[in-house]
Amino acid sequence: MKTVLSGIQPSGRPHLGNYFGAIRQHIALQDGGHACFFFIADYHALTTSRDPAKLREAVRDVAITYLALGLDPKRVALFRQSDVKAVTEISWLLACVTGMGLLERAHSYKDKLAHGVKPSVGLFTYPILMAADILAYDSDLVPVGKDQIQHVEMAQDMAGSFNAAFGEVFRRPEPFVPSAEKLAKVPGLDGEKMSKTYGNDVWIFESGKKLKSAVGKIATDSRAPEEPKEPDEMLLFSFLELFTDAATLEQWKARVRAGGEGAPGYGHIKAAIIEGMEAYFAPARARREELLNDPAEVDRILARGAETACARAALVRDRALAACGLR
């Protein structure tokens, strides 16, 4: 049995790109017969957060979102990073075998500086805490987006340095990036990649008037409904296909290609997108409402997850402390 671990940043409301590009694949891993550990990276969030209420809210929102979308807390340990004290202890042990040069080469650190983030020591040592997250559970596979692969490789380096100095303590993790064909690249309302940064995103639980207004913004042109068109070149179809089964999608495409009297106009297709999206996320939305009304249940789930995580991480920490002469 492999151990799968990933951390999720509590950074605002997830959009369709996050769901189809990442969250869905994360949750699917629970069906693979692995031991799964998913945590909310609240210590990492503190490298930039200065608003306690917002951070607290964002952490809860991640937990509720994953649970609503189908994460099964009986099969996955879902917990807060800051609940596992052994991780911060291990991060010190790793810091002592990590060269400054390794951290200086981190793309994401350089990137954040370029975007005007003030360089705190925490931001600089972010990869050490992340390596501790990974190594604390004897993780085999770490599902991450492309931007995080370098951090997993740094965890491999740190495990290697510690093991070279003190013997085989840490298991070598591998980054796990779902294969390209399984990865949906979801475009935003303007046709560029959907991203919070570009403001072209749609929250997965958006509904009612706000959803209507968002979908209304999907870029189209001024061709008349009767004019035959190629649906694969239309941004509207990149949205419709997310929520429509293959047979129904083909029918829509055929009508658009044929043009003429019976062809759907853009408004028509937009209405189908709204209906499709609302139906697609309806069970998750209902589950989300339940969880919003039952904060004690969310607390219980996070506490149980933390218990499982702490037990595993304490073993690894003790092994590491013994190896380097601290016990």
CA separation for the pair 180, 95 (Å, rounded): 34
| Cβ 301 vs Cβ 287: under 8 Å | no
Interaction pattern, residues 149-188, with ligand TRP; x per rule: CB under 6 A: --x-------------------------------------
Whichever of 103 and 242 has its CB closer to ligand ADP, that residue is: 242
Binding-site partner at residue 186 among ligand ADP, ligand TRP, none, CB < 5 to 8 Å by type: ligand ADP
Q: Report the site for ligand ADP in 273-302 (rule: CB under 6 A).
A: none
Is 144 a binding residue for ligand TRP by CB under 6 A? The answer is: yes
CA separation for the pair 235, 293 (Å, rounded): 37
Whichever of 76 and 249 has its CB closer to ligand TRP, that residue is: 76
**Which tokens belong to 15?**
């959009």
Residue 212 a catalytic site member: no
First to last CA, the chain: 30
DSSP class per residue in 185-221 = --B-TTSSBP-GGGT---BTT--HHHHHHHHHTS---
CA separation for the pair 4, 36 (Å, rounded): 5
Q: Of the ranges 16-24, 160-168, 287-295, 298-306, which one interacts with ligand ADP (CB under 6 A)? A: 16-24
CA-nearest of 25, 27, 32, 23 to 2 is 32
- Tokens 């409904």 sit at which residue? 225
Binding-site partner at residue 166 among ligand TRP, ligand ADP, none, CB < 5 to 8 Å by type: none
Whichever of 89 and 201 has its CB closer to ligand ADP, that residue is: 201
**Which tokens belong to 321?**
């402390």
Q: Which of 112, 229, 253, 270 is catalytic?
A: 112
Whichever of 14 and 276 has its CB closer to ligand ADP, that residue is: 14
Residue 112 a catalytic site member: yes
| Cβ 219 vs Cβ 235: under 8 Å | yes
Question: Quick one: DSSP state of residue 170?
Answer: S
Interface with ligand ADP (CB under 6 A), residue total: 14
Q: Of the ranges 73-81, 188-196, 208-216, 290-298, which one interacts with ligand ADP (CB under 6 A)? A: 188-196
CA separation for the pair 189, 195 (Å, rounded): 10
Q: Of the ranges 1-9, 112-120, 158-166, 270-278, which one interacts with ligand TRP (CB under 6 A)? A: 1-9
Residue 209 a catalytic site member: no
With vertex at residue 27, the alpha carbon angle to CA 22 and CA 31, rounded to the nearest 5 degrees, is 135
**Which tokens belong to 14?**
């997830």
Among 4, 27, 38, 44, binds ligand TRP (CB under 6 A): 44
- H-only helix segments in 105-173: 107-114, 121-124, 126-135, 149-166
Q: Which of 118, 146, 196, 212 is catalytic?
A: 196
Interaction pattern, residues 81-120, with ligand TRP; x per rule: CB under 6 A: ----------------------------------------
Is 184 a binding residue for ligand ADP by CB under 6 A? The answer is: yes
CA distances from 25 to 32, 168, 192 (A): 11, 32, 22
Q: Which residues are catalytic?
A: 112, 193, 196
By CB under 6 A, name the binding residues for ligand ADP: 17-18, 20-22, 145, 184-186, 193-197
Binding stretches for ligand TRP (CB under 6 A)? 5-7, 9, 41, 44, 130, 133-134, 142, 144, 148, 151
